[in-house]
Chains A and B, each alone.
Chain A
């Protein structure tokens, strides 16, 4: 029972990481009906920036918000430079462009930072405290806290601010939004910035666990895909719930199912994606399956 609780807790911690990246995917999906295959690589690159800043002696708690800010600007720049020229192109073109972006960022990271796996510092100690008889590590609790704060901030921004309102309007109905004077294209860019920032958090949170290297996010993005599909690809709340479910399920499957250890945990994510497609394509909270068929 103790082990079970422990596994659930660390599953929630991973789930928070997947939820952040899944939320980033959902933000861009909502803005332009597109799955951003470069989301993980963007997060990875931001994590390398944080790594560099910390390596230069910057305090972790200054480097974290600074990196998020840089990622935000970077997301906007990417939308303006790379995505906007094909904004009105078929979704297939957009998908291919994001794949190109993923490959490009991966290669650039290899060029600037090398392929050597690096130990990323964690501000949280590896010591444990006792919660209901389970030994919870500060590391897990810290990840849960940071992811939780970030997710709440994003929700507040989207739901309570005028900019958030305009972003939602632009995503749902660009034509009507233009007639209200909303600069739709900039709202899409803001969406990219926000997604990039949220994704960066997931990268920085996962790096101490996985070792930092250019391919670090390749597995995480699969879990995030599973989370987003499970939650309903257009529902931000669904992404968070999906992320937590995927995190806990994968962790438990890895612990209790024979043969599903290590890299095969990823197959659980794949199975979740396929199962959702077969059983409930709209996901848990999605109102309809992907548009722009």
Chain B
């Protein structure tokens, strides 16, 4: 059974429908890419999963329906969502942001180890931990958001455009870390990306959204090489 399952999910804002029946699944330890043009509904799909938007249809996580669950409860079930714009609390320090990542954890020893680990991934955060998060650059904020999400020890990581606005080298290193975390902890990842090329490299499966529906789905390796899919949906 898949870790996360969506079936016929419809959602929108006010009178505007954005999703018109999205069905997809993410298996335990999988990396799945969610691709598509601007406005196709990628962000809305993630927001529906963590209860940030009204939806109907079926969303199950670990076999449990998320129908009536609040955002807080969903997060407590083991989903870490790094939202669009990273969700870094810029009024707080870097360290305070990280402490909030471990907010739900009760295993002090494990948390300490995880701090060492994320500081190992992102040494810059250790250097800047006393500074206000607002002083970080875009790439550093993305690192902070990712580090904070890792401290949550999630079963599933939802990443919304981690590459947005970052220099290619930084993107490369962030994606390496995502891969490392996925491999060592078997954290499943649902990755929303504009940058289809790099997303398909990292992921094993991919879905392409078009105006609120899944237009194409399949193995990432296959999609990457399909000329027609690349031309019409991925734009490279």
In-complex A–B contact (CB below 8 Å): yes
Q: What is the interface of chain A, defined by CB distance below 8 A to chain B?
A: 162, 165-166, 168-169, 172-173, 175-184
Give the residues in chain B near A181, CB-CB below 8 Å. 72, 75-76, 103-104, 152
> With A166-B100, A166-B103, A169-B100 in contact, is A182–B72 under 8 Å at CB?
yes
Give the residues in chain A near B100, CB-CB below 8 Å. 165-166, 169, 177, 180, 182
Asked if A168 contacts B72 (CB within 8 A), the reply is no
Tell me, rounded to whole Å, the shortest Cβ–Cβ distance linking A238 to chain B.
15
CB interface residues, B 88-120, toward A, < 8 Å: 88-89, 91-92, 96, 99-101, 103-104
Give the residues in chain A near B152, CB-CB below 8 Å. 180-181
Asked if A169 contacts B81 (CB within 8 A), the reply is no
CB interface residues, B 55-102, toward A, < 8 Å: 70-72, 75-76, 80-81, 83, 87-89, 91-92, 96, 99-101
Asked if A176 contacts B87 (CB within 8 A), the reply is yes
Give the residues in chain A near B87, CB-CB below 8 Å. 173, 175-176, 179
Tell me, rounded to whole Å, the shortest Cβ–Cβ distance linking A272 to chain B.
27
Q: Does B50 contact A (CB under 8 A)?
A: yes
- Which of B76, B89, B101 lies in contact with A172, CB distance below 8 A? B89
- Which of B50, B70, B83, B96 lies in contact with A165, CB distance below 8 A? B96
CB nearest neighbor in A for B82: A179
Give the residues in chain B near A166, CB-CB below 8 Å. 100, 103
Asked if A176 contacts B103 (CB within 8 A), the reply is no
Asked if B91 contacts A172 (CB within 8 A), the reply is yes
29 contacts across the A-B interface (CB closer than 8 A): A162-B103, A165-B96, A165-B99, A166-B103, A168-B92, A169-B92, A169-B96, A169-B100, A172-B89, A172-B92, A173-B87, A173-B91, A175-B83, A176-B87, A176-B88, A178-B75, A179-B71, A179-B80, A179-B83, A179-B87, A180-B100, A180-B104, A180-B148, A180-B152, A181-B72, A181-B76, A182-B72, A183-B72, A184-B72
Asked if B83 contacts A162 (CB within 8 A), the reply is no
CB nearest neighbor in A for B86: A176
Q: Could you tell me the dominant secondary structure of chain A's interface residues? A: helix
Q: Does B52 contact A (CB under 8 A)?
A: yes
- Which of A175, A178, A180, A183 lies in contact with B101, CB distance below 8 A? A180
Give the residues in chain A near B104, CB-CB below 8 Å. 180-181
Tell me, rounded to whole Å, the shortest Cβ–Cβ distance linking B18 to chain A.
17
Asked if B103 contacts A173 (CB within 8 A), the reply is no
> With A169-B89, A181-B104 in contact, is A162–B99 under 8 Å at CB?
yes
In the bound complex, CA of A114 to CA of B43 (Å): 58
CB nearest neighbor in B for A186: B72
Give the residues in chain B near A178, CB-CB below 8 Å. 52, 70-72, 75
In the bound complex, CA of A271 to CA of B92 (Å): 34
Asked if B103 contacts A179 (CB within 8 A), the reply is no
Asked if B83 contacts A180 (CB within 8 A), the reply is no
In the bound complex, CA of A48 to CA of B148 (Å): 46
In the bound complex, CA of A182 to CA of B52 (Å): 14
Give the residues in chain A near B50, CB-CB below 8 Å. 179
Tell me, rounded to whole Å, the shortest Cβ–Cβ distance linking B17 to chain A.
22
Tell me, rounded to whole Å, the shortest Cβ–Cβ distance linking B79 to chain A.
9
Tell me, rounded to whole Å, the shortest Cβ–Cβ distance linking A30 to chain B.
10
Give the residues in chain A near B89, CB-CB below 8 Å. 169, 172-173, 176-177
In the bound complex, CA of A181 to CA of B81 (Å): 10
Tell me, rounded to whole Å, the shortest Cβ–Cβ distance linking A122 to chain B.
39
Give the residues in chain A near B72, CB-CB below 8 Å. 178, 181-184
In the bound complex, CA of A184 to CA of B52 (Å): 13
> With A181-B75, A182-B72, A184-B72 in contact, is A168–B103 under 8 Å at CB?
no
> With A169-B92, A172-B91 in contact, is A182–B83 under 8 Å at CB?
no
Give the residues in chain A near B92, CB-CB below 8 Å. 165, 168-169, 172
